[in-house]
Amino acid sequence: MFGKNQNKKSRYGSVAIKPTAADHGFNLLVTTFLTLLLIIIAVPLWSTITLSFRPNDYIGNNLQGMFLVPWKWSTSAYKALLGNAGFILAFWNSIKILIGGVATALLLTIPLAYVLSIPTLPGRRYLNLLIIVPYVFNVGIIPTYLLVTKIGLIDKLPAIYLPVAISTYNCLIMRSFFEGIPNELKESARIDGATEIQVLIRIILPLSKAIIMTIGLFYGVAYWNNFFHAMLYLNSNELQPLPILLRNILMASGMNEYVEVNAFGDAPIAAIKAASVFMSAIPMVLAYPFIQKYFTKGTLLGSVKG
Amino acid sequence: MTERTARQQLMRDIKRHKSVYALLAIPLAFYITFMYVPIFNGQIAFKDYMALDGVLGSKWIGLAHFKTFIHSYYFLELLRNTLMYSLGKLVLSLPLAIILAIAIYESKRPLLRKTVQTLAYLPHFLSWVIMYGILLALLAPGDGILNDIIKALGGKPIDFLTNTKAFPWIVIFSDAWKEMGWSAIIFIAALMGIDPSLFEAALVEGANSWQRVRYITLPSIKPVIVIVVLLRLGTILDAGFNQIFMLYSTPVYSVADIIDTWVYRQGLLEFQFGLATAVGMFKGAIGMFLILGSNRLVKRFGGSSLY
């Protein structure tokens, strides 16, 4: 997110002044802080990764395991997971929820955000009020649970994303992005006889790649990570998404541990647990670098105006 | 303009926007079904809810559920835990996020800066189930890394997640670990908006790095800090349901239970739908005043409130 002007030389223009001892101390502190932070963030991630590659005949504790050389790593835990029908099914369920959820959410959020961004729309104030009231006044989970039960969504994958298909917060971020698009562009299209749907598709959407990627990412992360709604609304084993399977694997202990985890094959139990953590995180970790440049841009547009 | 022409104008306006209203149909159906029907269902907070009688058919019992909750022994405990977690997280992670933003902004090592940025945002995208897995590798009583270190130093291993003294710290620190980078984004954005000529002038005046941070950087981002604090105070009753739900267990309920986890257990495990809804609504009502109040203050401090 740092452009060229992050370069110190350009920030201070042509002013060239010799750094003092205080400046050196400051720089040293900044570097130390960032390095320490890097270690603090990296160590837990690294320990989980090394744990997942631990071979069956490994002797030693987890601390030493972090320094195990890569050529002694074993992929037995991953082989066990990928060879397990239950794991593949859960992964597939999660993919279905992710794709169905993001598509539904964007299809609902984009038109609403666009309509709310039209300043001349009669009744705009009431529309705003209509979406803000439930956002501000949250009655908790039970009333929604009763609704989902009543309309027959129980044990259907859309139960995970349909009740939360529009996040008012995301919609408001998108609205303020649309509001920032110059009005002349929309007006000239309207004068040429374009309908609102055409204006949205031909003018607004091509200019809104950053915000759509960002909001899509926010929805995607929320649906991929959701375990609570899956726990409430999906009872059947065939529908369990990845987070529920992961939770069962992680929480298994004692006898249960052997039933739940050993079913996966002959890799060490701790390695299977760590590998399933890593596998659950992988889609987000892979998508992340591609979307990073969009989300920093998109979030900023939504959060700080001026 | 007379009454009649004004109305005609309005009708013309509405007609002109006909296709706009068509775009609204599905989103509005969504709001009515999934946002307003639950609010309507919220009436069971004042009813003796019986599944067979349904929401409308159950008997009204007034404020009985609210009284039960407020007079119960767990009321203060839940309120205390909820505030402890949300304030604790605010106090730890906000200064950390500010310091991180300033350090990233001031760092003269591009590689270090980029790496920290990329890595620090990442945990925000991991779920609390995944976080629980990572924390297990770190904190497990038998073979967690922290216990490896304690044992190497000759201490006795601790089961952190079932220890009432350790649990609150784990909640607060793991939240900081996960969200610190993400919370720093808004401050980094504010820092990028500082007028570079301020720094040039300070340099000419002979100010060193410390003085620049003290007299330019911090004052410049102060409004953003105030706004972030206010917005966080607006959601002070949300102490992090997913996190605590994943990490807690029966031995630590007394220090771990927050309003949301309690509502879940009462409602969906004990089937006390009416009581659980009443507590959810109690929280929702207070939350509403807090959000409205904090947004009003944000506007006064020159921020753009969301609505």
Burial (0-12, 13-18, 19+ Cβ within 10 Å), A223: buried
Structure tokens at A65: 């395991």
- Is this complex scored with an ipTM above 0.85? yes
What pLDDT sits at residue B303?
64
The more confidently predicted of residues B189 and A157 is: A157
pLDDT band at A6 (very low <50, low <70, confident <90, very high): very low
Structure tokens at B225: 């800090």
Domain formed by B74-300, architecture: Orthogonal Bundle (1.10)
CA dihedral A150, A154, A171, A183 (to 10 degrees): -80
Q: Distance between CA A233 and CA A229 in Å, rounded? A: 6
- Residue A302 predicted with pLDDT over 50: no
Nearest to B210 among A22, A109, A299 (CB): A22
Q: Low-confidence residues of chain B, pLDDT below 50? A: none
The lowest-confidence range among A70-84, A279-293, B131-145 is A279-293
Of A118, A263, A108, A274, which Cα lies nearest the Cα of A190? Answer: A118
Nearest to B119 among A42, A51, A225 (CB): A42
Distance to chain B for A296, nearest Cα, Å: 7
Q: Distance between CA A125 and CA A141 in Å, rounded? A: 28
AA letter at A142: I
Structure tokens at A216: 């899509």
Q: B50 in contact with A at a CB cutoff of 8 Å?
A: no
| pLDDT tens column, A111-131 | 999 999 988 888 888 999 999
Q: Distance between CA A251 and CA B246 in Å, rounded? A: 10
**Cβ distance of A131 and B279 shorter than 8 Å:** no
What pLDDT sits at residue A5?
42
pLDDT band at A109 (very low <50, low <70, confident <90, very high): very high
What pLDDT sits at residue A262?
62
Go through chain B and tell me how many residues it has. Answer: 307
A-interface mutation test, from B10, B20, B248, most A Cβ less than 10 A away: B20
Q: Distance between CA B72 and CA B236 in Å, rounded? A: 22
Burial (0-12, 13-18, 19+ Cβ within 10 Å), A290: exposed
Q: Which residues of B touch A62 (CB under 8 A)?
A: 137, 143-145, 148
**Cβ distance of B132 and A247 shorter than 8 Å:** yes
Q: Which residues of A touch B285 (CB under 8 A)?
A: 137
Sequence-separated (6 or more) residues with CB below 8 Å from residue B296: B305
Q: Are A243 and A225 in contact (CB under 8 A)?
A: yes
Q: Distance between CA B10 and CA A295 in Å, rounded? A: 39
What pLDDT sits at residue A299?
53
Q: Are A172 and B306 in contact (CB under 8 A)?
A: yes
What pLDDT sits at residue B166?
93
Query: DSSP assignment of chain B, as one string?
Result: --HHHHHHHHHHHHHHTHHHHHHHHHHHHHHIIIIIHHHHHGGGGGEE--TTTHHHHSEE-TTHHHHHHHHSTHHHHHHHHHHHHHHHHHHHHHHHHHHHHHHHHH-S-HHHHHHHHHHHHGGGGS-HHHHHHHHHHHH-TTT-HHHHHHHHTT-----GGG-TTTHHHHHHHHHHHHHHHHHHHHHHHHHHTS-HHHHHHHHHTT--HHHHIIIIIHHHHHHHHHHHHHHHHHTTT---HHHHHHH--GGGHHHH--HHHHHHIIIIIT--HHHHHHHHHHHHHHHHHHHHHHHHHHHHTT-----
Sequence-separated (6 or more) residues with CB below 8 Å from residue A70: A53
> Could you give the residue range(s) of every CATH 1.10.3720.10 domain in chain B?
74-300
What's the mean pLDDT in A276-300?
Answer: 76
Q: B218 in contact with A at a CB cutoff of 8 Å?
A: no
pLDDT band at A303 (very low <50, low <70, confident <90, very high): very low
Question: In three state form, how does the secondary structure of B168-192 look?
Answer: HHHHHHHHHHHHHHHHHHHHHHHHH
What pLDDT sits at residue A264?
66
At CA B34, angle to CA A161 and CA B243, rounded to 5? 55
Q: A236 in contact with B at a CB cutoff of 8 Å?
A: no
> How far does chain A reach from its first CA to its final CA, in angstroms?
18
Structure tokens at B88: 């604790």
What's the mean pLDDT in A23-43?
Answer: 94
What pLDDT sits at residue A106?
97
What's phi and psi for A111, nearest 5 deg? -60, -40
What pLDDT sits at residue A10?
44
Residue B6, Ramachandran bin (φ over 0: left; ψ between -120 and 50: alpha; else beta): alpha
At CA B160, angle to CA A49 and CA B258, rounded to 5? 105
Q: B148 in contact with A at a CB cutoff of 8 Å?
A: yes
Q: Which residues of A touch B208 (CB under 8 A)?
A: 20, 22-23, 26
| pLDDT tens column, A164-196 | 999 998 999 899 889 888 888 888 887 888 877
At CA B91, angle to CA B88 and CA B95, rounded to 5? 145
The more confidently predicted of residues A67 and B1 is: A67
What pLDDT sits at residue B82?
96
**Cβ distance of A51 and B137 shorter than 8 Å:** yes
Burial (0-12, 13-18, 19+ Cβ within 10 Å), A131: buried
Structural domains in chain A plus CATH codes: 22-74 (no CATH), 85-303 (1.10.3720.10)
Of A254, A74, A265, A245, which Cα lies nearest the Cα of B133? Answer: A245
Structure tokens at A177: 């992005």
Mark B154-173 as b/e (b = at least 16 C-beta within 10 Å). Answer: eeeebebbebeebbbebbbe
